[in-house]
Amino acid sequence: MHIVFAASECAPWAKTGGLADVISALPKTLVKMGHKVQVYIPYYRQVAKAVSKAQVVLPSLTVPFPSYNRFARVLDGGIADGVQMYFVDMPELFDRESFYSTPSGDYPDNAERFGAFCRAVLEATKIIGVPDVFHVHDWQTAMAAVMLRSIYYFDPVFRKVPAVLTIHNAGYHGWFPPRTMETLLLPWDMFTMDKLEQYDQVNFLKGGVVYADAITTVSQTYAQEIQTAEFGNGLEDSFRRRASDLFGILNGADYGEWNPETDPHIAGHYTAGKLAGKQECRRDLLHAFHLEDISDETAVIGVVSRLATQKGIDFIVDILDRLMQEDVVLVMLGNGEEYYERLLPEMAARYPGKMRVQVRFDNVMAHKIEAGADIFLMPSRYEPGGLNQIYSLKYGTIPVVRATGGLQDSIHERPDGGGNGFKFWGYDSDALLDAIQRALATFRDKKTWTAMMKRAMAEDFSWEKPAQEYVRVYERVIQNRSS
């Protein structure tokens, strides 16, 4: 099977979150299964800096607009682990300081930027190779699914080529003014409530939901949640209408990067059978955060997160004074909303021997926290898939999570301590504290805690099973489009 991925990010070239990790890892696994995979992303300024010299594959593609044409080049990003990378070069649209926005807000021409990118990808495949299926991701490339069934409706090359849309976070839609229909040369009869229009705006994600042959999202629970008003962000009716074509597939983890047996960023390597290295990692983590003379009986709680209300940071703030009365130390790493970037260091200063906060993103420190902490907090208000809880399991760092999205699907608590973590339900900070206290009670029972660590480390969230599920979706839509 020939699969073309179109996405706005792919690690290591362009990354702001988990999307980039998926676009890096899933294609590699599909190639191992015998499929041919090509990945297209924009040639951002950051990509150009990371790529020393990329050969031009296609010197000029025409991307039409109402009163002018834009032109794109396609560059060869090389083959890594069997996956062919292509970069779409449109300097006037993508040679900018950041991917989507400036500190003052989103780029005002994002509709044109990503609409042009989608059309350039479709045109490029007509020359480089038309796939059996397009796999597009989030609002930035959802328009490719729309274009296939509108602008390219009469193109015999694409008539039987389906598109699968994966939604990594239904909270981001891509809202643009009505004139976007003309800008992208889309027919006005698609600007209706049952197609692209929502609240008199063009909604890119909604268009993808309506026109993609299948929709997937990044956990089974999240696929159900987005069909409710609480999590659907105004698209719940659209998701319910496509319920028979909506599939939840939990993300996998890249164990090539996140594995305590081989991780180059941590102080000691360890396995479920030989846990001594985890104690070295714990000591190294405490040293890195300048926490001295911490007893082995004191639980080290770690947080690696965007500092935002969506991630449940307000829950942590609400319980912090009570949590600090427990026999714990808390280390936090991340950046995000300015309110929390200011508040958390101020709160940490009140507990100098028990709490540290680093307001930044640091990949090496993230690995140190995963390996050196005893407990990992993820109290997210919603979490479509989540990766850190999966990394934590692999490192024997027991997660305490809110039961939502991928957290609900991957973490299991049992009254007898036989699960792999601890969960709480509802928008309730007291419930978070109660879950932490259950974890601490188990932590004091070293035999039960060690058994839980080993059970967590034995969990397999590699990409093989999710990739097989994606292949089944591909086969389904190819069959439906061919019949």
Q: Could you read off the pLDDT of 98-126 as tens digits, one per residue?
A: 999 887 889 999 999 999 999 999 999 99
The angle formed by the CA atoms of residues 326, 329 and 335, to the nearest 5 degrees, is 125
Q: Nearest CA to 262 among 156, 338, 164, 371?
A: 371
Dump pLDDT digits (tens) for 142-178. Answer: 999 999 999 999 999 999 999 999 999 998 999 999 9
Phi, psi of 252 (to 5 degrees): -95, 175
Can you tell me the distance from the alpha carbon of 458 to that of 480, in angstroms, rounded to the nearest whole number? 38
Report the pLDDT value the prediction gives residue 28, as an integer from 0 to 100: 95
Can you tell me the distance from the alpha carbon of 291 to that of 284, in angstroms, rounded to the nearest whole number? 10
Q: Which residues of 288-303 are buried (b: 16+ CB within 10 A; e: fewer)?
A: bbebeebeeebbbbbb
Q: Nearest CA to 117 among 177, 151, 80, 73?
A: 73
pTM for this entry: 0.91
CATH 3.40.50.2000 for the 276-458 domain, yes or no: yes
Q: Nearest CA to 138 among 238, 206, 73?
A: 206
Average pLDDT of the residues of the chain: 95
Write the CATH number of the domain with boundaries 2-252+464-482.
3.40.50.2000
Q: Residues spanned by CATH 3.40.50.2000 within the chain?
A: 2-252+464-482, 276-458
- Read off the pLDDT of each residue in 337-356 and give the average, rounded to a whole number: 96
Residue 40 has pLDDT above 90, yes or no: yes
Report the pLDDT value the prediction gives residue 361, as an integer from 0 to 100: 85
